[in-house]
Amino acid sequence: MEILELCKRIGMPEPAVEQIMRLDIPEEVYLYMNRLRKTDYDGFCREVRNSKDFRVRFLYYFCRFACETYEDYINEQISESIFFDTFRDLKHWCENCRQEFGEYGIDEAEWFWRLFDRTLFKLGRLQFETMNVKRDIGCNAFAIKKGEPVINVHIPQGEPLDWAACEASFAAAYEWFGREIPYVCHSWLLFPGLKEILPEESNIIQFQNHFRLLEMDYLQTEALWRIFSKVREDMSQYPEQTSLQRGAKAYLYSGKRLGRGLGRYLPER
């Protein structure tokens, strides 16, 4: 797999591809960085961030790492469609970088080790990641103890959150991972306050209704970033182009905060 083919298959914007191909990174430097990301991913990220053009460098490295990971998919007999669906994240995060920082590249680099280590796969609409929980979650019959394995559910951008498509994803995940391990999701989409903003028939609320809420937090700005594309100090600057944006802005003006919910998937719901 070559970079140009990868970029074409995942729909990478042409200006981003041009910037990647203009980078002049010696092969010995690439090989060193590739070894570093395999042994010390945090160290790899720190070293790349020392460059003034670190965002496009992340994009370059990640595209090359993806091309190598393609060979792992082939060797493990994982389909090409799952590979390209999974690595389309590069395109989405590149476009997010352009929107937020005015340049093509990758800023949130810490996310991508999951893709290269093949602990995360996109199966239809949703992404599924194997992991062990780092602390006790919840305190009821649906609680999960520290160290137990779970399948972490992620909701990538770029497609409507249609429940029929999500249900098909869970069915594919059951075929892939089985039904015994709990499926959990930690996302702004599970924040219960959204029920004060959106109608019951909305895709987001339909998604929420298939999870048992275990915890809630206000520590991240994920909801603001996802709804408004950028976190601003002055709430009046938030756009009101969609019903979600208008409802969320009114919610904030009422003195309430947006947060995240952590829930466990209940297929019988």
Residue 177: Cβ within 10 Å count: 16
Containing 31, the helix (H) or strand (E) segment is: helix 27-39
Render pLDDT for 146-163 as a digit per residue (tens, 0 to 9): 999 999 999 999 899 999
Phi-psi region for residue 77, left (φ > 0), alpha (ψ -120 to 50) or beta? Answer: left
Instruction: Judge whether 223 and 186 are in contact, CB under 8 Å.
Output: no
Residue 223: predicted pLDDT: 92
Residue 269: predicted pLDDT: 57
- Coil, strand, or helix at residue 265? strand
Residue 127: predicted pLDDT: 98
Instruction: Judge whether 251 and 240 are in contact, CB under 8 Å.
Output: no
- Tell me the CATH number of domain 119-269, given options 3.40.630.120, 3.30.390.50, 2.60.260.20, 3.50.50.60: 3.40.630.120
Instruction: Judge whether 187 and 220 are in contact, CB under 8 Å.
Output: no
> How much is the pTM?
0.92
Cα 141 to Cα 144: distance, rounded to the nearest angstrom: 9
Dihedral of CA atoms 113, 119, 122, 123 in degrees, nearest 10, equals 180
The β-bridge partners of 64 are none
Residue 176, CA distances (Å) to 120, 127, 171, 182, 196 in order: 12, 12, 9, 14, 36
Digitized pLDDT (tens) for each residue of the chain, 269 residues in all: 999 999 999 999 999 999 999 999 999 999 999 999 999 999 999 999 999 999 999 999 999 999 999 999 999 999 999 999 999 999 999 999 998 899 999 998 999 999 999 999 999 999 999 999 999 998 777 889 999 999 999 999 989 999 999 999 999 999 999 999 999 999 999 999 999 999 999 999 999 999 999 999 987 788 998 999 888 889 999 999 999 999 999 999 999 999 999 999 998 75
In the block, tokens 């191909």 appear at 21
Selection from 18, 105, 103 nearest residue 62 by Cα:
105
Residue 248: predicted pLDDT: 95
Task: Please tell me what DSSP assigns to residue 73.
Answer: H
Cα 72 to Cα 138: distance, rounded to the nearest angstrom: 36
Query: How far is the first Cα of the chain from the last one, in angstroms, to the nearest whole number?
Result: 42
Residue 45 Cα to chain centre, angstroms: 18
Structural domain boundaries in the chain? 1-115, 119-269
Residue 3: predicted pLDDT: 96
